[in-house]
């Protein structure tokens, strides 16, 4: 089955709402307003075009982190599966259409400002509850046999050279054995010492 995926930038219309599905799966739902900016050919200045509204749903830990991170009016980038939903209004039985995104990735749009990542051992829908405390959740994770969250020092990375980063499994790209595979050139060997372009 073919699926359509979309990346949308825009602003959060209202604070995300946290809910549960009928099967008890936590999720967060919010709307994104995305306004096109175009150059006016007469004035040569940017002006707002039409605004599109998207209903966004994110499940489980992504939904919990969204509920604790996003606020009304904040600029966001959303990537996910696109779904056009057609339904009937209960008030007057008229047909309606809404555009929905099953979100896989959501984050702040950093072209508008800065943000920082806070790692959590378990995403919590209700961060005000004392059981949501990071220490309590670490203990609960240990009781259930989950690996503890390793605090990663992002400031220690050299942003200019990704190859120097040591991966969590202990592999080091600078010293580990690897095989260099040559990129295909379209040339094939010919009789003698030269090479010629393939006609295939």
User: Per-residue pLDDT for 111 more than 90?
Assistant: yes
What is the pLDDT averaged over residues 133-159?
61
Q: Give the containing element (helix H, strand E) for 32.
A: strand 26-39
The string of pLDDT tens digits covering residues 27-83 is 899 999 999 988 888 998 988 889 999 999 999 999 999 999 999 999 999 999 999
Instruction: Quote the pTM value.
Output: 0.62
Say how far apart CA 100 and CA 107 lie, in whole Å.
Answer: 17
Beta bridge partners, 83, equal 100
CB 101 within 8 A of CB 81: yes
129 or 67: which carries more pLDDT confidence?
A: 67
């Amino acid at each position: 089955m073919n699926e359509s995926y979309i990346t949308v930038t825009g602003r959060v219309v209202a604070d995300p709402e946290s809910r549960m599905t009928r099967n008890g799966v936590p999720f967060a739902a919010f709307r994104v307003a995305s306004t096109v900016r175009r150059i006016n050919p007469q004035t040569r200045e940017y002006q707002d075009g039409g605004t599109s509204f998207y209903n966004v749903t994110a499940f489980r830990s992504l939904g919990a982190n969204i509920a604790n991170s996003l606020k009304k009016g904040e600029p966001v980038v959303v990537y996910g599966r696109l779904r056009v939903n057609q339904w009937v209004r209960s008030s007057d039985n008229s047909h309606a259409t809404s555009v929905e995104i099953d979100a896989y990735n959501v984050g702040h749009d950093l072209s508008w400002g800065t943000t920082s990542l806070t790692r959590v051992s378990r995403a919590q829908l209700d961060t005000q509850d004392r059981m949501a405390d990071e220490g309590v959740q670490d203990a609960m994770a240990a009781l259930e046999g989950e690996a503890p969250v390793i605090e990663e020092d992002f400031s220690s990375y050299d942003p200019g050279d990704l190859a120097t980063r040591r991966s969590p499994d202990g592999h080091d790209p600078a010293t580990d054995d690897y095989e260099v595979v040559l990129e295909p050139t379209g040339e094939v060997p010919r009789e003698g010492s030269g090479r010629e372009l393939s006609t295939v």
